[in-house]
Amino acid sequence: MHNCIPIFVKSNNFNFVIAGFLIVAFIVYQSLVKLGWIFYLDSENVSTLWLASGLLLWLFLVTERKLWWPIAISFYIGDNLLSLLTLSAEHYSLKHLLGSFANFGEAMLGAWLLRRYAFQIERFYTVRHTILFILLGAIVCTALFGTIGALSTYWTHADARFMDLFVTWMTANALGILLLAPVLIAWINYTHHLPFAPRDYEAIMFILLALIATYFTFSTNGANSVSYFKVPYLLLVFIIFSAIRYAEKYSFLLTLLISLLAMYFSNTLSGPFVHSHNTPYEVVISTQVFIAVISLVALALTTSFSELKQKNELYAASNLKLAEEIEQKSKALKEKDIAEKKLQHAQKVETIGNLSAGIAHDFNNMLTSLLGYTKLAKNLAQGSDDKMLHYLKQIQSGAQRGKEIIDKLMIYSRQEEVSSKSINFKKFIQERIDYYRIGLSDSIQLLVHTTSDAKIVIDPVHLDQIVLNLLVNARDAIKGEGVITVTVENVKCVNKKSNITHEIFNGDYVCLTIEDDGNGIAPELIDHIFEPFFTTKEMGQGTGLGLSTVYGIVSDVSGKIIVRSKVGEGTQIQIYFLEEDQNREAA
Contact 48, 287 (CB under 8 A): yes
CB neighbours (10 Å) of residue 246?
A: 21
Can the peptide bond before residue 272 be classed as cis, meaning omega within 30 degrees of 0?
no
pLDDT of 184 higher than 90: no
What mean pLDDT is reported for the chain?
79
pLDDT of 284 higher than 70: yes
Please name which of 512, 493, 491 lies closest in space to residue 449, comparing C-alpha atoms. Answer: 512
373 CB-contact burial (10 Å; exposed 0-12 / middle 13-18 / buried 19+): middle
What pLDDT is attached to residue 359? Answer: 64
Bridge-partner residues for 563, per DSSP?
573
End-to-end CA distance of the chain: 56
Please name which of 538, 536, 561, 565 lies closest in space to residue 549, comparing C-alpha atoms. Answer: 561
- In whole angstroms, give the CA distance from residue 509 to residue 506: 9
pLDDT in tens, 210-258: 999 999 888 876 545 555 667 888 899 999 999 888 878 889 999 999 9
Beta strand 421-424 pairing with 482-497? unpaired
What percent of the chain lies above the pLDDT cut of 90? 14
CB neighbours (10 Å) of residue 318?
A: 10
Beta strand 482-497 pairing with 444-450? parallel
Please name which of 200, 282, 193, 294 lies closest in space to residue 247, comparing C-alpha atoms. Answer: 200
- In whole angstroms, give the CA distance from residue 136 to residue 134: 6
What pLDDT is attached to residue 558? Answer: 86
Edge-to-edge strands of the sheet including 560-566? Answer: 444-450, 482-497, 504-516, 570-578, 560-566
What pLDDT is attached to residue 575? Answer: 94
pLDDT in tens, 530-541: 877 677 666 555
CA dihedral sign of residues 15, 18, 20, 23: negative
Give the E-state strand segments of 69-110 in sequence order: none
pTM (2 decimals)? Answer: 0.55
What pLDDT is attached to residue 576? Answer: 94
Bridge-partner residues for 41, per DSSP?
46
Give the relative orientation of helices 162-188 and 16-38 as an angle to the nearest 10 degrees. Answer: 140
What pLDDT is attached to residue 436? Answer: 82
254 CB-contact burial (10 Å; exposed 0-12 / middle 13-18 / buried 19+): buried
Q: In the structure, what pLDDT confidence band is assigned to residue 441 with cuts at 50, 70 and 90? A: confident
Contact 141, 113 (CB under 8 A): yes
Backbone φ and ψ of 444, nearest 5°: -110, 125
Angle, CA of 20, 21 and 25, to the nearest 5°: 115
CA-CA-CA-CA dihedral for 456, 350, 499, 510, to nearest 10 = 0
Pick 254 or 479 by higher pLDDT: 254
Those residues with Cβ within 8 angstroms of residue 377's Cβ, 6 or more apart along the chain or in another chain = 392
What pLDDT is attached to residue 510? Answer: 93
- In whole angstroms, give the CA distance from residue 355 to residue 349: 10
- What does 408-424 look like in DSSP terms, one character per residue? HHHHHTT-S----EEEE
- In whole angstroms, give the CA distance from residue 163 to residue 319: 56
- In whole angstroms, give the CA distance from residue 324 to residue 332: 12
- In whole angstroms, give the CA distance from residue 302 to residue 245: 10
- In whole angstroms, give the CA distance from residue 108 to residue 572: 82
pLDDT of 472 higher than 80: yes
Residues making up the chain, counted from first to last: 587
What pLDDT is attached to residue 258? Answer: 94
Contact 547, 502 (CB under 8 A): no
pLDDT in tens, 350-387: 666 666 666 665 666 666 767 676 777 777 767 666 67
pLDDT in tens, 555-587: 888 899 999 999 989 999 999 999 887 665 555
Please name which of 445, 555, 456 lies closest in space to residue 509, comparing C-alpha atoms. Answer: 456
What pLDDT is attached to residue 1? Answer: 33
Angle, CA of 477, 578 and 433, to the nearest 5°: 45
